[in-house]
């Protein structure tokens, strides 16, 4: 049974989910175009423990070197703000935004 999310709040902002925005696995014909461990046009639902205005490359790098960070959201429309998050996250629970001013990603793991 699909889950519909109408809004969520992180520690800095309340976001309303627009019609057509759903969890990635609810849209079988639409995939997030991952560039390794990050992608444009996606976001993760949940609380952020820190945020800062950074270009995307620095947001990705900051998550990598911050022990608490497991994944991140970045939004160019909100002054290029990086939202670091902790806790479990996978590519499968990223939300498609259909808006490339959003980006999301996971901390890379080395095995």
Domain boundaries, the chain: 9-15+32-106
Average pLDDT estimate for 5-27: 46
Structure confidence at residue 3 (pLDDT)? 41
Class of domain 9-15+32-106: alpha beta
User: Over 80: is that where the pLDDT of 74 sits?
Assistant: yes
Half-sphere exposure for 2 (CA within 13 Å, toward CB): 12
For the chain, what is the mean pLDDT? 80
**For residues 81, 110, 36 and 17, what is the CA-based torsion angle, rounded to 10 degrees?**
-40
């Amino acid at each position: 049974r699909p889950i519909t999310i109408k809004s969520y709040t992180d520690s800095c902002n309340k976001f309303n989910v627009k019609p057509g925005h759903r969890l990635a696995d609810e849209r079988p014909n639409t995939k997030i175009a991952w560039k390794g461990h990050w992608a444009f046009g996606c976001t993760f639902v949940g609380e952020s423990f820190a945020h800062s205005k950074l270009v995307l490359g620095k947001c990705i790098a900051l998550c990598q070197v911050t022990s608490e960070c497991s994944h991140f959201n970045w939004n160019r429309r909100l002054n290029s703000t990086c939202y670091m998050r902790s806790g479990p996250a996978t590519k499968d629970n990223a939300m498609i935004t259909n808006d490339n001013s959003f980006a999301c990603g996971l901390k890379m793991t080395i095995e």
